[in-house]
Structure 1
């Protein structure tokens, strides 16, 4: 992309989710970040029949294993360690061998693209860092400057628990899979973590299915948080935690896990959680936006206020409850996903927006619907990994209303 072609300022005439309701007017983007809507010289785009939401934040992912075929038998398992043991024989399957033989950079990029297609623009990757994650055109933003361990027991994988926790500054998150099960092993893990001195206000515990009501109060009292992955929990364990108390206390996040055990993406997690676990649509959306911003230390994400990154999810305004409508969408119904103020994947009638920023596009279909995608995300090997995404002719469509700089 030629940076000289990029407009400094963009004004979107739209409704947008303010966190408590829909505001309407001019939503301003200046040099890739949200800005006060006081600009007189800008590219203007009429989205008055649309709603704009902040890009979603996925608080738990393993980006590199989304194309690995899942284990199809044995569930429900008593805990994740039993699932790991059962998976060992699965490694000998030719399809698994082939999936793991692909270059790591491609596998990571695929996991990121999977997230982006469903409106997730920032991800927590719970695995070793890889140099490809620093590529300037990596599809999503990532949580950085944090530490992690894999789990208290199980495989000898990842940084040691106590050393990793001790290396984490108190103002940065420390992540660990914990209490991922329904048996006595899982139920005992919070007490063991506390005994090790690793339960603190920056501890972010992933899954937490085995936490008792007393354990949950202990987590809240210590200022820690839990990442809820209901799809993965149901698939592996046949059960998930009751999210209401942690949500009420503001100590809950939402993650998709990978497709190896979880749902297709975070949007699918939100859709399946709607009306199922006692949380309102607005509470569910907060888990993947405002709550994630606060708990993970991501002040530039998950909001549309001035200074935030212009990572946006644009949908049609269908009337009624805007958040309920959003959470009921499939990924192909999203009109556009925007990162740093520019579209990355969008419906064909958003072609002018791409062109205004000098972004070359490739026509694709997403779950049978025509889209345009940033050419930098359209490598053939990458597209081939994602079910439902294929290169193809995109039907022409009239451009939405655009006013040039004036």
Structure 2
């Protein structure tokens, strides 16, 4: 088998490929970082019997550079995010926060990306000014690009001005803004304010939306706009979150973890936090972080594994029963492998031959107490030191699963 072909072509055999629309069986072929419609005879074959292949998850809202900054500990909910921001100003003087901010921003951005990748998220919408570090070829995740954004209607001093930013954003590209992040009159008035300024349209993506009334939600749906739901962050800061059902049924809802400054550890934890509490099925929840997210964020090559899609994948064991629950609600350490652009990035040790065939050098790490192989390009010492639960190991780790990786037929 030609070495170049082995690095860019693979066939994942005997696994079920999962989408919210259903489950398909048969080889899933990868060619040059994309899902391919055909299987080449010389493709490297990975036998994944008793496994499920999901599309790489999409995190519709994160602030990548603040995931290692200690959160503000508050005992009472804030009425809106602006009050929380004001309270955080004094927190900037805390020694732990000072130390965290001394870490170069480029490294903090990379850490936020790694945090996402470890939990099966391969694409992120970063809601902050662009930074050159985000353009690195080996950046751990793909990013939403060519989008418009403003920070929030009541925070004009940070980020692009609301009306100017909206006007400059093409109608076929998403425009992101924090909106109605609160439970008081200030938050409840923001959708009307946005509409008054002509910034509510089919490409408007509203982050949080806690203060939206039922009438506001119908207005959002009628305009073809959408909301990014960040329940863990909402509950931590505001003591309340929105009812997601109507927006979800209309296809106008996606999910974001926000940063660890206020939100969940990662997108998998966010899913686990809501899987049984908000009247949404596991199938609906999976759509929020795959197909529905891709549609709202205007990324047609993501969120699915049809031919031509980016070959970003999350591989897990088939647990039987509700197929979607094999991923929705599990912890990151139970993921068998995360794949980006057709290449394994982090996986259980018995995937070693696949890493080798793909030309990916690895290091041995422990993730939440479980042995993993991590692509060497992601294994910077300073980066690993930023992520709780991720550490170096000198041992081989226990191989708890049997996996055939071979050059034979599917």
Instruction: Report the TM range for the smaller structure's normalisation.
Output: over 0.9
Cα contact 2:346–2:373 (8 A) shared by 1? yes
Of 334-343 and 19-28, the range deviating more from structure 2: 19-28
How is 1:118-197 mapped onto 2 (pairs within 5 angstroms)? 118-154=119-155, 156-197=157-198
Aligned to 1:403: 406
Relative to structure 1, the CA distance from residue 387 to residue 8 in structure 2 (aligned partners, 3 Å threshold; closer, same or farther) is: closer
Cα contact 2:351–2:405 (8 A) shared by 1? no
Q: Following TM superposition, by how much is the alpha carbon of 1:7 offset from its aligned partner in structure 2, in angstroms?
A: 3.3
Q: Following TM superposition, by how much is the alpha carbon of 1:155 offset from its aligned partner in structure 2, in angstroms?
A: 5.8
Paired residue secondary structure (2:27):
strand
Counterparts of 2:46 and 2:252 in 1: how far apart (Å)?
38
Q: Following TM superposition, by how much is the alpha carbon of 1:403 offset from its aligned partner in structure 2, in angstroms?
A: 2.4
Q: TM-score, normalised by structure 1?
A: 0.97
Relative to structure 1, the CA distance from residue 91 to residue 155 in structure 2 (aligned partners, 3 Å threshold; closer, same or farther) is: farther
Relative to structure 1, the CA distance from residue 28 to residue 146 in structure 2 (aligned partners, 3 Å threshold; closer, same or farther) is: same
Q: Following TM superposition, by how much is the alpha carbon of 1:28 offset from its aligned partner in structure 2, in angstroms?
A: 0.8
Cα contact 1:207–1:229 (8 A) shared by 2? yes
Cα contact 1:288–1:302 (8 A) shared by 2? yes
Q: Following TM superposition, by how much is the alpha carbon of 1:9 offset from its aligned partner in structure 2, in angstroms?
A: 2.1
CA deviation map 1:189-217 (0-9, x unaligned): 00000001101111000000000000000
Counterparts of 1:357 and 1:325 in 2: how far apart (Å)?
26
Aligned to 2:29: 28
Aligned to 2:328: 327
Paired residue secondary structure (1:7):
helix
Cα contact 1:179–1:187 (8 A) shared by 2? yes
Aligned to 1:111: 112
Aligned to 2:78: 77
Counterparts of 1:148 and 1:324 in 2: how far apart (Å)?
34
- Of 389, 393, 396, 1:394 maps to 396
Aligned to 1:346: 347
Cα contact 1:11–1:42 (8 A) shared by 2? yes
Of 150-159 and 314-323, the range deviating more from structure 2: 150-159
Cα contact 1:351–1:399 (8 A) shared by 2? no
Counterparts of 1:336 and 1:5 in 2: how far apart (Å)?
21
Counterparts of 1:109 and 1:394 in 2: how far apart (Å)?
26
CA deviation map 1:274-308 (0-9, x unaligned): 01111110000001000011111111111000000
What is the root-mean-square deviation in Å for CA atoms of aligned residues?
1.5
Q: Following TM superposition, by how much is the alpha carbon of 1:63 offset from its aligned partner in structure 2, in angstroms?
A: 0.1
The answer to whether residue 20 in structure 2 is matched with residue 10 in structure 1 is: no
Counterparts of 2:64 and 2:21 in 1: how far apart (Å)?
32
Q: TM-score, normalised by structure 2?
A: 0.96
Cα contact 1:41–1:405 (8 A) shared by 2? no
Q: Following TM superposition, by how much is the alpha carbon of 1:396 offset from its aligned partner in structure 2, in angstroms?
A: 6.1
Aligned to 1:266: 267
Structure 1 unaligned segments of length 5 or more: list them.
none
Paired residue secondary structure (2:49):
strand
Structure 1 segments of 4 or more deviating over 3 A? 3-8, 396-399
The answer to whether residue 255 in structure 2 is matched with residue 254 in structure 1 is: yes
Paired residue secondary structure (1:176):
strand
Counterparts of 2:26 and 2:204 in 1: how far apart (Å)?
40
Cα contact 2:36–2:307 (8 A) shared by 1? yes
CA deviation map 1:308-366 (0-9, x unaligned): 01000000011111102211210000000000111000000000010001111010000
Paired residue secondary structure (2:240):
coil
Aligned to 1:92: 93
Counterparts of 2:373 and 2:405 in 1: how far apart (Å)?
18
Matched positions, count = 405
Cα contact 2:149–2:177 (8 A) shared by 1? yes
CA deviation map 1:126-154 (0-9, x unaligned): 00000010000000000000010000013
Cα contact 1:49–1:317 (8 A) shared by 2? yes
Paired residue secondary structure (1:106):
helix
Aligned to 2:278: 277
Aligned to 1:369: 370
How is 1:195-344 mapped onto 2 (pairs within 5 angstroms)? 195-344=196-345
